[in-house]
Amino acid sequence: MNAECGLRHAEWGGHGSRRLSPLRVVLAGGGTGGHLYPGIAVARCLQARCPGVDIAFVGLSGGLDERVVPREGFRLYTVPVQALKGRSRVAQVRALGMLMVGTWQAVRLLQRLHPHLIIGAGGYVMGPAVLAATLLRLPRVIMEQNLIPGLTVRVLARCAHRVFTTFAETQAYLPAGWVEFTGTPIRPEIWASGPPEAVRCNGVLHVLVFGGSQGAHRINQAMLEALPFLQKHKQQLRIVHQTGDADFATMVQAYQQAALDVEVSPFLHDMGARYRWAHLVVCRAGASTLAELTVCGKPSILVPYPYAADDHQRYNALALQQQGAAQVILDAELTGARLAEALHGVLAHPLRLRQQAERSRALGKPQAADAIVTACLRLLGFT
C-alpha cells in the first residue's frame, strides 16, 4: 500500500471484516505561535504526502489557536489546561486539577475521533492529549523546539514513541530511546521560493524588526532610543518594524519625526516575503523564529525573552551565536545605544554580514516537517 498516494489505514469492522479508513491524526499543542506553527507545518506536509488524511487540532480556547487554526482550514477542539512551572503553590494545585479534567476530556475526545496517531507540538498545552493517548495506548510522538526541553516534554518523553528535536544537544536532556534530531518544522510559505540568496546590501541595509505576534515592547523601546544614533545612517537603512498593537501609534510617530525610511505594522502576515527582503533581522529568540531565520539564511541580532520557561530563549540564541550565525544582546543589556552600535557594526562590516548569512543558512533544516512525517509513517508501519 503506497503511503504517498491516498494513504489508508487498515481496521477491523464487524463480523471480522477488514475495512480501510482514511488516516486520522490529532495534533496537540499551541498557545503560542512557537508551538502552533510547527504543528501546522507538519499538518500541511501530511496533507501533501497523504491525500485524504483527516487532521484535527487540540489546543487552547480564547487565544491564538482559535484565530489561526480555523483560518488554516483545520478543526480545533479545546481542552482546559494551565502551565505548572513558575507559578505559586496554590496555582500549581489548581493547574494539576485542571490537567486531570483536561486529560479526561481529551480521553473522551480521542475515543470519539479514533485517531491513528497523536502528535504533540510542544509546550504544556499538549499535555492532556498526549496523556490521554498514553492511557488509550495510541501511537504518540512529541516535538521539542527548544535546546533545553521544558517540564512537559521531559515528563511526556518517557511515554512517547518518538521525540523530535530542533537541536542535536537536546538528546542529552531526555531519556535514552526514540529521540530524533530533525529540526523545527517550517511552514512551506516561509521557504517555498527556493534556497536563500546570498546577502547583497549594495550600500543599503534592509532591517526587519519584530517581536512575535504581540510585538516586543523592549525591542520597540530600544529602537525608539536608537533613533538619534541612527540619524547619520538614514540613507543606508530601510526598516520594516512589526510593533504589535500596543506600541504601534507611538512607533509610527517616532519614525515620522526621525524621517527614516520605515514601514511600521502592528502585525505581519507575509513573513516569507519579509524574510526574503531582509538582510538582517532583529527579534526575540523563540525556537520557531530561529528555525525560520536559518532556513532563510538570515543573520540576526537576537534579544532573548528573559521570562521564558527555563530561560530557553537565551540558550537557543547562544547556540546560534556560537555557530557564528547571530549576535546576542541580552534583554537586561538592551539599550538604544547598544542596538545602534550593533547596527553600525553591520553597516561597517558587510563581509561579516555575508559570513553570518552563510553560517545561518548552513544550520537550516527546511525538510524538518518531511522528516517528522516520514518517521511517523514508519512508526505506523507504512514505510
| Candidate from 86-90, 163-167, 278-282 with smallest mean pLDDT | 86-90
Q: How confident is the model at residue 62 (pLDDT cuts 50, 70, 90)?
A: confident
Residue-wise pLDDT for 210-227, tens only, equals 987 667 999 999 999 999
Give the whole-number percent of the chain exceeding pLDDT 70. Answer: 91
Ordered strands of the 205-209 beta sheet: 262-265, 237-242, 205-209, 280-283, 300-302, 326-328
Residue 1 pLDDT: 37
Stretch 126-149: mean pLDDT: 95
What pLDDT score does 197 carry? 54
Residue 88: pLDDT band (50, 70, 90) is: confident
41-74 in b/e burial notation, b at 16+ Cβ within 10 A? Answer: bbbbbbbebbeebbbbbbbbeebbbeebbeebeb
Name the nearest CA neighbour of 118 among 108, 132, 104. 132
- For the chain, list the domains and their CATH numbers: 8-185+366-379 (3.40.50.2000), 191-363 (3.40.50.2000)
Task: Look over the chain and give the mean of its residue pLDDT values, rounded to a whole number.
Answer: 88
pLDDT at 247: 94
6 pLDDT higher than 50: no
- Position 20 confidence tier, pLDDT thresholds 50, 70, 90: very low
Average pLDDT over residues 365-383: 93
For residue 330, pLDDT beyond 90: yes
- The cell for 210 is 519584530
- In eight-state DSSP terms, residue 78 is E
- What pLDDT is attached to residue 12? 36
pLDDT at 96 (0 to 100): 87
CA–CA gap between residue 309 and residue 306 (Å, rounded): 9
Range in 1-10, 224-233, 344-353 the model is least confident about? 1-10
Predicted TM-score (pTM) of the model is 0.84
Identify the CA nearest to 182 among candidates 236, 245, 119: 119
Write the CB contacts of 217 (distance below 8 Å, at least 6 apart in sequence). 211, 244, 246, 247
Of 325 and 33, more confident: 325
| C-alpha span between 182 and 119 (Å, rounded) | 15
* Cβ contact 303:316 at 8 Å: no
Q: What is the mean pLDDT of residues 89-99?
A: 84
